[in-house]
A and B are shown apart, each in its own frame.
Chain A
Amino acid sequence: KNQVEQSPQSLIILEGKNCTLQCNYTVSPFSNLRWYKQDTGRGPVSLTIMTFSENTKSNGRYTATLDADTKQSSLHITASQLSDSASYICVVSDRGSTLGRLYFGRGTQLTVWP
């Protein structure tokens, strides 16, 4: 069964600190992995997309890593800001269907305190 598991479920950090969010997946055949940021009451916004051959990708203070062998990914946030408070969702796409189905994790709820 294709699944995406994220940890921790929730995380509280102080402004200016770094943090790392984890994602494990069992989706096969693998096509790509995405990290989305979803603010409360809003739709998800893409942060990074990585294909099988990519190990790391950065978007400003966000850096995602991918280990396709162990089927693990992480999202590292550097020098956190209050605006980083949101749910971070790991999404994996398969290449076994014409649609390129997306499998969503439940997200990590990050809260940044001043």
Chain B
Amino acid sequence: EADIYQTPRYLVIGTGKKITLECSQTMGHDKMYWYQQDPGMELHLIHYSYGVNSTEKGDLSSESTVSRIRTEHFPLTLESARPSHTSQYLCASSVTGGVYEQYFGPGTRLTVT
């Protein structure tokens, strides 16, 4: 079982609200990732980080932002939620180098009404 945690697991929120999805890992991994997944569809990378103070945008354009102040913590923030943001958000982490294993958190199911 991977030591990577996400909170909340489920969130229903109204349009225009600011939200932060939490992700933390206790494995000391340098790399962390945020993916977005709609039902029956593939995962899309929206943000990643090589380490502290490093953040990059992924393949899928997203209005969310991330920060990496501590190695173990990689929160994702939406300043103004919209119904189009309704999706499952998965956080993952990995070591650097080699054929690395990505460990996924349980996900946050976000619904914006």
Q: Which residues of B contact A44 (CB under 8 A)?
A: 43, 90, 104
Residue from the list B40, B43, B100 in contact with A104, Cβ < 8 A:
B43
**A49 to B90, Cβ gap below 8 A?**
no
Size of chain B's interface in residues, with CB distance under 8 A?
Answer: 22
Chain B interface (Cβ < 8 Å from any Cβ of A): 2, 4, 40-45, 48, 59, 90, 92, 99-107, 109
Cβ-closest chain B residue relative to A6: B42
**A41 to B99, Cβ gap below 8 A?**
no
A60 within 8 A of B: no
A17 within 8 A of B: no
Shortest beta-carbon distance, B59 to chain A, in Å? Answer: 8
**B104 to A45, Cβ gap below 8 A?**
yes
Interface size class of A (residues with CB under 8 A): 20 to 34
Given the complex of chains A and B, what is the CA–CA distance between A106 and B38 in angstroms? 10
**A51 to B99, Cβ gap below 8 A?**
yes
Within 8 A of B (CB), among A58-114: 89, 93, 99-102, 104-107, 109
Given the complex of chains A and B, what is the CA–CA distance between A104 and B107 in angstroms? 17
